[in-house]
Chains A and B, each alone.
Chain A
Amino acid sequence: MVAGPDRLNVVFGVRSATVALAATGAAVVLGLSALALGDFPMTLPEVMGVLTGRTDGFARTVVLEWRLPRAVAAALFGAALAVAGGVFQTLTRNPLASPDIIGLANGSFTGMLVALLVLGGGWPLLMTGSLVGGLAAAVAIYLLAYRDGLQGFRFIVVGIGVSAMLASANTWMLLRVELETALFASAWGAGTLNGVTGATAVPAGACVLLLLACVPWLTPALRQMDLGDDSARATGVRVDRVRLAAIAVAVALVSVVTAVAGPIAFISLAAPQIARRLARSPGIPLGVSGAVGAALLLGSDLVAQHAVPLTVPVGVVTVVLGGGYLVWLLVHEARKRP
């Protein structure tokens, strides 16, 4: 390309904003559909009536108490996973470096399995187990990887090691329990929004919003670090602090989501890659990633609830939809290449 850097930035900026807007629009449409669809189907005007406070009664209960928490959770959780994945991929400059890979998901699953199999279950206990498991895995990886500062690649390799051990422990536990228990645990382990209610969605959603609000503070420094640690230092970025803060925010985002919904697969890996391709940006656009992630999880949950004969965990659908779309993009991208 011949355009100067400023011109390029503007072009990428406009395109990113357009894509982000389109993805947000898609998320809103999908969210409204989620409010309308179900055993008690409603029309869009009916849904709007409830949302604007003009309709009362049963419709109000259905929309506000049953469907809204789940839809809002899907949007926020999707954005959270996507942004966390984008941060990890930017820090390590590796498209494979999703939080799933560094052990958080497996740690959460281990914690949940221990809560279910040893301590006896119940949703609050399972959520606590998952949160403790995921965070313990993150702390263990951090401590094991720390040596004169935290280096991205070492962090990932240690994460893979810890992750593999946890996955083995999970496999082992699932092999030793009764089929029914293993099936229930596996469905949760694939990631599901079935357990989401207002009581869990509100605190989790608030945490996610708070964490997402931290991301714009980190973005400029992350952009600098994308050019290499040394050049970032030269422009006054405190590299180690930024890296630690970014990892902490990303880990917290994933942990909150996983505690409520289980390890929902593939969004943190696919959404940033999809966003990058749609926005045609050189780095990973975090805002666009968030919007794509929200649309992806909302759409996947609609499919999981209504489009397949048996209810499947939403994580199964995110993998199929997100993966399928990524494959399509790859083919499309290749065709358009001169």
Chain B
Amino acid sequence: MPPVHPPVGSEAGPVPRSRPARLAGAAALLGAAVLLSLLVGANLLPVSTVVDTLAGGGTDESRFVVWEQRVPRTVAGLAVGAALGVAGALIQAFTRNPLADPGILGVNAGAAFFVAVGITFLGVTSPLGYVWLACAGALVLTVVVYGVGSAGGDAAGPARLTVTGVAIGAVLSGLTTGLTLTHPDAFDRMRGWSAGSLLERGFDIVLPVLPLLVVGLAVAVAVAPGLNSVALGTDVARAQGVDVGRVRLAVLAAVTLLAGGATAIAGPIVFVGLMVPHLVRWTLGTDQRAIVLGSLVVAPTLVVQSDVLGRIAVLPSEMPVGVVTAFVGAPVLIALVRRSGASGL
């Protein structure tokens, strides 16, 4: 394996003096995004009506719009965002590769392949059916990638896992493409699913997945301090008494649960987990605990805001959130990398 070097010219990021203030600012932005998500849509409800409906009043129509459509959708956006952001932070710290994203372990490719097989051969057509297929695909793929990555008895190192994940993920995405190109009906369904959307993701879809995400987040928070040691190199971590093997396994489990769960809810949304940890590193510094916490706040903001934008960008139709996130996030990423140079890990 080639060592996956940290980028040339990178150094530990700026040590921020006002980390709590910046976190508070991020939290305020998240609150604003949630509020907007409840207010804005194809039909704009006045603030008073929304507040009234949330408090238990409102008309039949406003109750339907708020409780049946916007609240579940907002919850879905929050869950998907938090999961992707934290998974991204973990996988970048773990592989010490700033280009790694949660999909790197083949999670997205596995989910998409299982969904494609389900549509093509099993006749699955309901979004709830996709949820379980996607979860199963993510899980199976991670196990296979870990198995291949640690073949030969040696515990899987991050660089090896990265190449293994990319290779196996690519094989499956090729098979998915081949499968869908030869089955037009499946192609038609997949192009909707694979754009990544929060449209009509009701509680019936979000609630079954939530426990997976909660467990994933808990593992992520628990493992973050250990990642700080692992980031200094395997030997240093061992010298500090950190069980590197256990940290790796915990990270893999968390990333699978988080990325798999998010993909199950919304379809593959590829850009959030890659860019948010960079953004957080640039503003909060390189402590993994701060990065995980920051990603937990910033990523949902990006997803929920993008979803709101997608609802009104191309009225009367909707733009899927997975399409919008890149257009909202990429300019920020580019501006940041121009301003502060490379982002070390």
Contacts and interface: CB of A to CB of B under 8 A. Distances in A.
Interface of A: 92-97, 101, 144-145, 147, 151-154, 156-158, 160-162, 164-165, 167-169, 171-172, 174-175, 179, 182-183, 186-187, 190, 228-229, 265-266, 269-270, 273, 276, 308, 310, 312-313, 315-320, 322-324, 326-327, 330-331, 333-337
A324 to B, nearest CB: 5
Interface string B299-316: 000000000000000000
A164 B326 contact: yes
Contacts of B192: 175
A308 B160 CA distance: 31
Given A153-B8, A182-B187, A331-B148, A161 B182 contact: no
B5 interface: yes
Contacts of B130: none
Contact of A96 (B99, B271, B338, B342): B99
B167 A175 contact: no
A182 B324 CA distance: 20
Nearest to B343: A157
Interface in B262-277: 270-271, 274-275
B174 A265 contact: yes
A273 B163 contact: yes
* The 4 residue pairs across chains A and B that have the minimum distance between CB atoms: A334-B152, A319-B174, A153-B7, A323-B171
A322 B173 CA distance: 12
Contact of B334 (A161, A183, A318): A161
Interface in B145-171: 148-154, 160, 162-164, 166-171
Given A161-B331, A174-B191, A175-B192, A312 B171 contact: no
Contacts of B342: 151, 153-154, 157
A226 B322 CA distance: 37
Contact of B4 (A95, A157, A186, A326): A95
Contacts of A318: 174
Contacts of A101: 99
B46 interface: no
- Chain A: interface secondary structure? helix
A320 B174 contact: yes
Interface residues of B, number: 66
Nearest to B270: A164
A249 to B, nearest CB: 20
B187 A186 contact: yes
B174 A317 contact: yes
Given A154-B342, A179-B188, 9 more contacts: A93-B5, A145-B337, A151-B8, A157-B337, A158-B337, A169-B323, A269-B170, A324-B171, A335-B152
Given A144-B334, A152-B7, A157-B278, A316 B178 contact: yes
A95 B163 contact: yes
Contacts of B10: 153
16 contacts: A94-B7, A151-B341, A153-B98, A153-B342, A161-B337, A172-B195, A175-B320, A182-B188, A265-B170, A313-B177, A315-B174, A320-B178, A327-B164, A334-B151, A334-B152, A337-B152
Contact of A151 (B9, B151, B177, B181): B9
A154 B184 contact: no
Contact of A183 (B181, B271, B278, B341): B181
Contacts of B333: 157, 160-161
B69 interface: no
Contacts of A186: 177, 180-181, 187
B258 to A, nearest CB: 20
Contacts of B326: 164-165, 167-168
Interface of B: 2, 4-5, 7-10, 97-100, 148-154, 160, 162-164, 166-171, 173-175, 177-178, 180-182, 184, 187-188, 191-192, 194-195, 270-271, 274-275, 278, 319-320, 322-327, 329-331, 333-334, 337-338, 341-343
A94 B97 contact: yes
A179 B4 CA distance: 42
Given A93-B8, A334-B152, A326 B163 contact: yes
B338 A190 contact: no
B177 A316 contact: yes
Given A94-B97, A186-B181, A330-B167, A165 B327 contact: yes
Contacts of A336: 152
A172 B323 contact: yes
A315 B171 CA distance: 11
B341 A312 contact: no
Contact of A330 (B148, B171, B187, B327): B148
A229 B333 CA distance: 25
Contacts of B323: 168-169, 171-172
Given A172-B319, A310-B182, A326-B163, A320 B171 contact: yes
Given A164-B330, A175-B195, A323-B167, A331 B4 contact: no
Contact of B327 (A92, A160, A168): A168
A175 to B, nearest CB: 6
B150 to A, nearest CB: 8
Contact of B99 (A154, A156, A175): A156
Given A190-B177, A337-B152, A162 B162 contact: no
A312 B182 contact: yes
A101 B103 CA distance: 14
Contacts of A154: 337-338, 341-342
